[in-house]
């Protein structure tokens, strides 16, 4: 997931799915020079509804923010 600057600070941007942890880390490494921040997360996906839950940070570069503010 890329992060971008906003008037309120750093906010999450576009999310790009990956097929494995390794490919997610390579993608984040390649995106890092072009964005304020980049992070990879593993999530639990409900196959029926498509909803994602339980994000766990794997790797981050630069400035990132919380996915869900407290």
pLDDT at site 49: 96
- pLDDT tens by residue, 8-31: 899 999 999 999 999 999 999 999
Count the Cβ atoms, other than its own, within 10 Å of residue 39: 24
Short-list 19, 6, 57, CA closest to 27:
19
Name the pTM for this structure.
0.80
* CA separation for the pair 45, 41 (Å, rounded): 12
pLDDT at site 31: 96
Residue 68 reports pLDDT greater than 90: no
Q: Mean pLDDT throughout 32-58?
A: 94
């Amino acid at each position: 997931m890329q992060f971008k600057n906003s008037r309120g600070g750093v906010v999450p941007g576009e999310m790009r799915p990956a097929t494995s942890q390794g490919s997610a880390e390579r993608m984040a490494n390649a995106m890092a020079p072009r964005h304020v921040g980049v992070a990879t997360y593993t999530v639990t996906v409900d196959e029926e509804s498509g909803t994602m839950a339980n994000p766990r940070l794997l790797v981050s570069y630069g400035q990132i923010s919380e996915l869900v503010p407290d």
